[in-house]
Structure 1
């Protein structure tokens, strides 16, 4: 799913991670260049996605500008992924906290529930 094509209803796989693969490459076409890109939208697979700092910034900017463009399940997934990455020392907790900047617009309970769960572990 990308900023120029924010279709969270299309669940067809675009990439496959085979049994022995640790990573996969994706060539961004011209329509998506310079745009945010979300992999594993709506948690259709059993894996977490760690984005580059630049891509995470683009996603956070979209959330702040208009969070409803990104599906509620994906918004929750991003928060859950990044707090889990921070707990495992893959990223600094500040990256996880960036994803909370939009929460003033959040209308679903799932994002708040996940945030509460992660913050309650910290104290």
Structure 2
């Protein structure tokens, strides 16, 4: 008996929670067509019965004097880590309407920017090497 590719959705039936291969379909899971890989759907959700790629949270772009996270939806969590100093420099949650979030980094170094907008967005992590 060959392994069946399958997916499991969260309790809302909207977001892909996991998947894999099994000889017997796990309870609450549904089979994928032969040749489909469960990993293809890790960042998908269901819209009107169709799997759709979830949008990504914003990623930093360089601007004059610093960095910008463009069009952050309200409720976006931004965490800035100094990778060399091993400390968290900022934790912010955006409010209001979608807006750009501008920030600067204090010194040359290596920074990790974590951005997590509310669902359906997929969180992002970006490493910035500043000289």
Higher helix proportion, which one? 1
Interval of TM-score (by shorter of Structure 1 and Structure 2) = under 0.3
Which structure has more RCO (C-alpha within 8 Å, separation ≥ 6)?
A: 1
* Larger radius of gyration between Structure 1 and Structure 2: 2
TM-score by length of 2: 0.24
Higher strand proportion, which one? 2
TM-score by length of 1: 0.26
